[in-house]
Amino acid sequence: MNPERLWAPWRMTYIKGIGHDENTCVFCEAPKMDDDRKALVLYRGKVSFVILNLYPYNNGHMMVVPYMHTADMLALPDETSAEMWKLVCKCKEALTQAFHPDGFNIGLNQGRVAGAGIDQHIHMHIVPRWSGDTNFMPVVGETKVISQGLEETWDELKKFLCNPGTGE
């Protein structure tokens, strides 16, 4: 038997941590970029924004991130916490309309020991889930198969996450 191989070479960057600069925060830099599609920013709120995860657990994996750089959710002003939760709900609605998932994982990992890959800037995950989306690949093959590229995912979700009054 000759098994098929699915290659995910982009994962090695994440695994090795190449390009990870301890002095630069990706969540502080992304909203400064002029090209939202390139930065994977889907929505800009007053005090927080929505971004696609560069290393998604599933297709459509989004994060809600405050502009304020902090590792502690208790440091967030009430206005920021409220807007972040509203954006989590907006993301869930957009993912439902765009991809019709069977469920969601929604949460926040506070600290590296709790699973935060970027632990110096708080962020909330919204991960769409489908029946059967976990199979032997991540368990045996240590490879997650994502069915759509980030740019195509951005294009699809952006239709459902327009900034108010701008159409953008």
Provide the edge-to-edge strand list for the sheet that holds 41-44: 41-44, 48-52, 62-66, 124-129, 103-108
Residues marked as catalytic: 123
Helix axes of 78-99 and 150-158: crossing angle, nearest 10 degrees? 100
* H or E stretch covering 51: strand 48-52
Query: In the beta sheet, which residues pair with residue 48?
Result: 66
Place of tokens 């690949």: 137
**How does DSSP assign 93-118, residue by residue?**
HHHHHHH--SEEEEEE--SGGGT-SS
Helix, strand, coil percentages for the chain (3-state, nearest 5): 35, 15, 50
Specify the residue for token string 């560069």: 54
